[in-house]
Amino acid sequence: MTTDHDGPAHPGGTYDTDCAVVGGGPAGVVLAYLLARGGARVTLLESHGDFNRRFRGDSIAPAVLDYLHTLGLADEMLATLPHTVARSFVWRARGRAYTLADYRRASPRYPYYALIPQARFLPFMAGKAAAYPGFELRMRARAGRLLRDGDGRVNGVAYTEDGAARELRARLVVAADGRNSKLRALGGFQATELGASLDVLWHAVPRRPDDPALSGLQLVTAPGALLAVLNQDTSWQLGYMIAAGSHGQVRERGVGPVVEAFARELPWLRDRLSSLTDVNQLTLLPVRITAVDTWYRPGLLLIGDAAHVISPVGGNGINLAIADAAATANAILPCLLNPASSPAALDAACREVEAVRRPPTDREQRSQRRAERAAGARLAKGTTAPPLIFRLFDRVPAIATRNGRQNASLIRVPPPRPEILRA
């Protein structure tokens, strides 16, 4: 359902929508779907004209697949969207593969990570949300400022859509606009960089039907290099990890070492690497691990990367974002469904979201910092073989199985409220 919001602010405490969600990534799209399915009015503002973004995480964890199954979505999604399956996390070095985590016992129904391009996953979820009358999607809608009532409480967002200025009044605004969140800055939140040891250079090459069935949960080591290969349906995204802040040195050396590393470790890609002739063809993704002082202000809640920037290490950014959305929907839906619910009740619900979601997010960020420091040290030394403890994991399958179950269990998604399931 789509309507225009051209008019001035509505008097008398009336609103255009119950919840304005800014940002069409995993956190925003899943939250909008859950709220609409639960019977609330929700408007999703996405600044781009489509959902096709490069370098978004694609690895959906077993626990998230179980959650989507509870909603009746997982099997249809897996049956209709192109994807690959990762039943283990593998470290490849010197021509050998070391299994560090085995996910085959992580879930009785979905014992694997599903690698689904977000350019497919997000439209799928938005399409499901469109079945509910309270859902509205505004594409090319770029948020510009927050709207506030006489007491300073956020009660909407001003945005431009195809060059036209508009205002959207809402009982609650949720910022799901990513690692460089504009609403986070507009809301006066303080973001702290926790330190990252790696940056990533990306380059895309075509994928062929007879290519190896790599899932994306493999780390390939070469002398002085860490490589990633992500299956993007019709292409491979090639990741070349470098020490944080060393992009200038890479530019001085040129693209040769990057091409050489991929050609040596993944020779089946060699002919497609001939098009990579200039370092300017590589796209730099600065890795960040960022914490925010608090996730809410009166009338405004941050979730996903707006609340906590997650490193690509481990591929769990999308899973934490979906868990945020699930917890947020559970907490705020009763308030949104009750017209008499007070602003204080919504604020209490937002505090509940942070209380539930911050501890597992903090744990993930601490783990990522340790992993990145270790990877950075190995890059500096030019070490290729996995650490001794990792080689032990590979030699004792029970340890890899335990690691797989333990890693997967860290992604905990709260079950949906009855109002959501009844739909």
Phi, psi of 357 (to 5 degrees): -95, -25
Whole-angstrom distance, CA of residue 422 vs CA of residue 405: 31
- pLDDT for position 11: 37
State the burial class of residue 119 (Cβ atoms within 10 Å of its Cβ: 0-12, 13-18, 19+): middle
> ∠109-358-366 over CA atoms, to 5°?
85
- Which candidate, 336, 389, 328, 363, places its Cα nearest to that of 101? 389
Whole-angstrom distance, CA of residue 353 vs CA of residue 323: 10
Whole-angstrom distance, CA of residue 213 vs CA of residue 37: 36
CA Rg, the chain, in Å?
22
Whole-angstrom distance, CA of residue 254 vs CA of residue 256: 6
- pLDDT for position 7: 35
The upper half-sphere exposure of residue 43, i.e. CA atoms within 13 Å in the direction of its Cβ, equals: 26
> ∠321-113-303 over CA atoms, to 5°?
0
Q: Which residues pair with 222 in a beta bridge?
A: 225
- Which candidate, 408, 292, 410, places its Cα nearest to that of 354? 292
Q: Print pLDDT tens along the chain (423 aa).
A: 343 333 333 334 578 999 999 999 999 999 999 999 999 999 999 999 988 875 566 889 999 999 999 999 999 999 999 888 889 888 887 777 888 889 999 999 999 999 888 889 999 999 999 999 999 999 999 999 999 999 999 999 999 998 899 999 999 999 999 999 999 999 999 999 887 778 889 999 999 988 887 766 778 887 777 888 887 778 888 989 888 888 898 899 999 999 999 999 889 999 999 999 999 999 988 878 889 999 999 999 999 999 998 877 666 889 999 999 999 999 999 999 999 999 999 999 999 999 999 999 998 888 878 877 777 777 777 666 667 777 777 788 888 888 888 877 778 999 999 999 987
Q: Are strands 300-302 and 164-175 parallel, antiparallel or unpaired?
A: parallel
Whole-angstrom distance, CA of residue 284 vs CA of residue 199: 7
- Which candidate, 110, 85, 52, 380, places its Cα nearest to that of 246? 380
Instruction: Copy the structure tokens of residue 245.
Output: 């802040």
Beta-sheet strands, E only, within 113-182: 113-115, 135-139, 141-148, 154-161, 164-175
Q: Look at phi and psi of residue 395 and say left if phi exceeds 0, alpha if psi is from -120 to 50, else beta.
A: alpha
Instruction: Copy the structure tokens of residue 293.
Output: 């002082």
Handedness of CA 28, 33, 38, 42 (dihedral sign): positive
Whole-angstrom distance, CA of residue 353 vs CA of residue 374: 32
Phi, psi of 61 (to 5 degrees): -75, 160
Which residue bears the tokens 């997000």?
122
- pLDDT for position 314: 63
What is the separation, in whole angstroms, between the first and last Cα of the chain?
18
Whole-angstrom distance, CA of residue 166 vs CA of residue 161: 7
Confirm if 215 and 114 have CB atoms less than 8 A apart: no
pTM for the full model? 0.90
Whole-angstrom distance, CA of residue 203 vs CA of residue 262: 11
Judged by DSSP in three states, 331 sits in helix
Run of H or E residues at 61: none
